[in-house]
């Protein structure tokens, strides 16, 4: 069997930043080289010359659309080698081909690239399906707005308290799921922070930044309180003008299910 006229780099797309070179004709300006290559068993089998030349072959693949001529003289001239013998370059070619870094192609390298892309698309589809299943399972286990503030779950014979989910409705601009116990816990954890004022401020931030949606609102609020505490807090004494009317209004808005309905479009 005669030697193939062209070669291509295996898994070439992993070394690229952009994947539209074939369609746009964009010149490849740089490529990816992973440190994990140093731990690759196949890479360790290469000779020192082949290891040092491998990044240069990647650059050649970049300027030839991953269609490398299987020609030692062309390679030596393109890489601007002045003293390296053609026989040594041939040896490197043979090593890279035998171990699988370079793949002989009969027609065009595009077929190999298409196969790699299809394989990656299949893997990505499988990952997304797994994530959807995980999200659905998590959503099924979360308490709804109609549940009590906490739920009891038994694990290995012991009970643990599960906090109710905090939700923000971007259509109405309202926050639900913050309980009286949450307020009390945060006031104990962040004594210098006016918790109710900061929850209201966080609601305003969520309204003003709908593009920055938060997946975990409980963590978002805890981080908000923590930053306020680190800044010195904002709790004022009644003699300094703390509004008891605000506290009374908030307590009066406490819903029957034990949660505070913060916000809502005005």
pLDDT of residue 67: 86
Q: Do 155 and 112 lie in a common domain? A: no
Determine, yes or no, domain membership for 125.
no
Give the span between the Cα atoms of 12 and 75, in whole angstroms: 19
Q: Is residue 146 part of a domain?
A: no
Report the domain count for the chain: 2
In a domain, 136, yes or no: no
pLDDT of 223:
93
Say if residue 173 is in the same domain as residue 219.
yes
**Same domain, yes or no: 70 and 172:** no
pLDDT for 30 equals 74
Q: Which parts of the chain have pLDDT scores under 50? A: 107-108, 110-113, 141-160, 237-242, 256, 266
**Per-residue pLDDT, 31:** 73
Residue 213: per-residue pLDDT? 87
What is residue 266's predicted lDDT score, i.e. its pLDDT? 47
Q: Do 106 and 156 lie in a common domain?
A: no
Residue 140 lies in a domain: no
238 and 160 belong to one structural domain: yes
Answer whether residue 212 is part of any domain. Answer: yes
Q: What is the pLDDT of residue 91?
A: 92
For residue 257, give its domain range. Answer: 151-263
Amino acid 156: pLDDT: 42
Residue 86 lies in a domain: yes
Q: Give the pLDDT score at 199.
A: 92
DSSP codes, 103-145: EEESS-THHHHHHHHHHHHHHHHHHHHHHHHHHHHHHHHS--T
Predicted TM-score (pTM) of this structure: 0.38
- 251 domain residue, yes or no: yes
């Amino acid at each position: 069997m005669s030697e193939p006229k062209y070669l291509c780099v295996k898994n070439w797309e992993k070394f690229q930043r952009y994947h539209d070179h074939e369609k746009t004709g964009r010149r490849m300006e740089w490529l990816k080289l992973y440190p994990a290559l140093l731990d690759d068993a196949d890479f360790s089998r290469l000779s020192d010359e082949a290891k040092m030349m491998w990044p240069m072959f990647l650059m050649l693949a970049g300027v030839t659309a991953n269609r490398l001529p299987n020609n030692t003289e062309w390679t030596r001239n393109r890489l601007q080698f002045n003293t390296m013998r053609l026989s040594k370059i041939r040896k490197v070619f043979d090593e890279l081909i035998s171990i699988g870094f370079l793949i002989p192609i009969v027609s065009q390298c595009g077929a190999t690239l298409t196969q790699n892309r299809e394989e990656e698309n299949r893997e990505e589809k499988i990952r997304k399906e797994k994530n959807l299943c995980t999200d659905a399972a998590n959503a099924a286990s979360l308490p709804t707005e109609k549940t009590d503030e906490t739920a009891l779950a038994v694990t290995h014979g012991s009970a643990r308290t599960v906090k109710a989910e905090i939700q923000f409705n971007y259509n109405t601009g309202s926050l639900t799921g913050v309980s009286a116990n949450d307020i009390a816990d945060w006031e104990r954890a962040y004594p210098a922070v006016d918790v109710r004022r900061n929850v209201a401020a966080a609601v305003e931030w969520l309204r003003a930044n709908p593009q920055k949606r938060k997946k975990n609102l409980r963590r978002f609020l805890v981080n908000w309180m923590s930053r306020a505490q680190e800044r010195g807090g904002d709790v004022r004494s009644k003699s300094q003008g703390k509004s008891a009317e605000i506290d009374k209004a908030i307590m009066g808005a406490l819903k029957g299910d034990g949660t505070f309905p913060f916000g809502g479009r005005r």
